Amino acid sequence: MNEVNPKDGRTVREVYTNKKGGFCTECGGTVESFGGLEKCPFCGTKGVPCVFQDDVNIVINWHELRILCVWAENWALQCDKAKDGGLQKTIISIMRRLHAQHLDKAQESPLSLLAEIAQIKEKYSGTEVEGL
Ligand SMILES: [Zn+2]
């Protein structure tokens, strides 16, 4: 949060404290303002938060989004296995927010591979999955 942006000389913290509220990337907790915050008041992370001002609407096919989420989930899992990182927690939190925007699509075809495997196991009792 204290890295200086070479373009304008401001720290990440200064940039974010000059904008209005947003939410924690990791836990989704919201704040009306980032002013004076050293860390997330809900989970304590010092990671860069999401500013409401930076929310965007995009058009993407559900299958494309699933591909991105499954790859991100898999990569985060591998990174977390290699070293204690917590990337998976962040990716899962992002996927939950995406999931909540389209409950019908997510129930039909989950964004997470682990959720899809759980769905298959539930549908076909006795199914075992190896390699995860
Ligand atoms: Zn948090």
The Cα 55–Cα 50 span in angstroms is 8
Domain ranges of the chain: 1-56, 57-132
Residue 86's identity, in one-letter code, is G
pLDDT of the residue at 7: 59
> Region 101-125: what's the mean pLDDT?
88
- What is the pTM assigned to this prediction? 0.74
E strand or H helix at 31: strand 30-33
Q: How far is the CA of 128 from the centre of ligand 1 (A)?
A: 35
Q: pLDDT value at position 4?
A: 65
Please tell me the distance between residue 38's alpha carbon and the centre of ligand 1 in angstroms: 12
Average pLDDT for 40-52? 92
Distance 117 CA to ligand 1 centre (A): 28
Ligand 1 ion local residues (Cβ < 5 A):
24, 26-27, 29, 40, 42-43
Determine the distance separating the centroid of ligand 1 and the alpha carbon of 91, expressed in angstroms.
13
The mean-pLDDT minimum among 43-52, 56-65, 116-125 falls in 116-125
Which amino acid is it at 39?
K
Please, which residues have CB within 8 angstroms of residue 105's CB and are 6 or more apart in sequence?
A: 62
Phi, psi at 50, each rounded to 5°: -100, 125
Amino acid residing at 8:
D
Q: How many residues are listed for the chain in this entry?
A: 132
What's the CA-to-centroid distance between 66 and ligand 1, angstroms?
Answer: 24
